[in-house]
Amino acid sequence: VVLLPLFLVSPSWAQTFEEKEYRDSFSTDFFFPYLDYNEKDGVIPGIEWDGSNFTGEHRLSFRGGIGTKSGKEQLQGGYTYLGWYPAIGLNLFDKNTYFGDPDDSGVDKDNWRREVGGSLTFSFPLDLHHRIVPGYEISWMDLPDETERLQGILLSLVRDTADYFIMDIISGSQVNLTAKYGNEALGSESSFQSYAGDLRFYTNLDMREYFGAGQRLVSSLRLHGGVKKDDPRLFVLGGQDSLRGYDFNEFSGEKMWAASLELRYPFLVIDRTTTAWDFFHFHQLLALTFVDSGQIWRDYQDSSSISGAEVGVGGGVRLQMFFFGKIPFTVGFDVAQSVTDTERDPKVYLVLRLGR
């Protein structure tokens, strides 16, 4: 009988030092300057960065900047591990939200809500387009009159079947339904509940298929809203992101709904391949028209009649371009008029966005 020595070798140990170093090294997948704008923050310059290891199991991301007018930060970053089922995500944020006078006092003053915190999430993909995401979140709230720590559990149901063409979604749907709950047993200083939904639907009509000429007309419908109970992170409504024809985040409250229907048509297109050597490449000039509507209630127990809904209509243009063949840049403006409050002056909104 011959006894042979037995060695147990981990697959990772069997790799050469060069292989391990290459496998575990991180690289930058995406690094763009970041630029956004709203009338309260002003221009928000910053950076957007994504990185991953060779196998793609570990991913890091960061996005944000500081408002030139408000001096307030809008920052978010995260780490995701995709090597397990479910995928694990750690998200950190430091963000500031402007909101209008919630008590209708008539006092013209700026109110800001600062949220600093993070969340640990577990993403369970059901298929290519659907996933369930439970998690735990902690957030330190800094309000004009108080500071509070909120901790609790969350659950999100996500659907994403969106199809993109160059810079825009042209078909499909995106749905995000999120519930949050916290109490003292979960570490929160107070009990709260929050239920919110954001549904977006897209469709298009390619004029060339029917008329032999023209471009693709894209329509989008967005429905969003929710209910909060004892949650100081009130919903906000108003401005270019939700209700055009009104001031930025003019309304705030515990219960709201909003809807937006928009049509976009590119009436000028430069159809050629961009390369990294192109410092500037004009892509297309879009014309759009829209109808926005919505309503918000200060208290979740208030009557839910929609007779007091606000409505705004208008149109705008978007100039879409690329820097160095890859960095998307959009500049344009919207003009909107309130239909339900005709004494308001028309509102003009600057659209300025650099990066994804």
**In this structure, are residues 310 and 243 in contact, taking their beta carbons and an 8 Å threshold?**
yes
Rounded-to-integer distance, Cα 349 and Cα 331, Å: 11
Q: Does a structural domain hold residue 165?
A: yes
Identify the pLDDT of residue 319: 93
Identify the pLDDT of residue 109: 60
Q: Does a structural domain hold residue 51?
A: no
Q: Does a structural domain hold residue 70?
A: no
Q: Does a structural domain hold residue 261?
A: yes
User: Closest Cα partner for 129 from 176, 95, 85, 191?
Assistant: 176
For the segment 176-211, what is each residue's pLDDT rounded down to a tens digit? Answer: 999 999 999 999 999 999 999 999 999 999 888 888
**DSSP track, 104-170:** -------EEEEEEEEEEEEEEESSSSEEEEEEEEEEEEE-SS-EEEEEEEEEEEEEE--EEETTEEE
Identify the pLDDT of residue 25: 63
Rounded-to-integer distance, Cα 75 and Cα 355, Å: 15
Rounded-to-integer distance, Cα 70 and Cα 38, Å: 10
**What parts of the chain have a pLDDT lower than 70?**
1-26, 101-110, 272-278, 356
Identify the pLDDT of residue 352: 92
- Encoding tokens for residue 68? 């030139």
Identify the pLDDT of residue 32: 82
Q: Does a structural domain hold residue 195?
A: yes
Amino acid making up residue 180: K
Q: Residue 246 sits in a domain of what CATH number? A: 2.40.160.50
Q: Does a structural domain hold residue 71?
A: no
Q: Does a structural domain hold residue 277?
A: yes
Q: Does a structural domain hold residue 322?
A: yes
**Count of CA atoms in the C-beta half-sphere (13 A) of 216:** 14
Number of domains in the chain: 1
Identify the pLDDT of residue 268: 87
Which structural domain, as residue segments, surrounds residue 122? 107-354
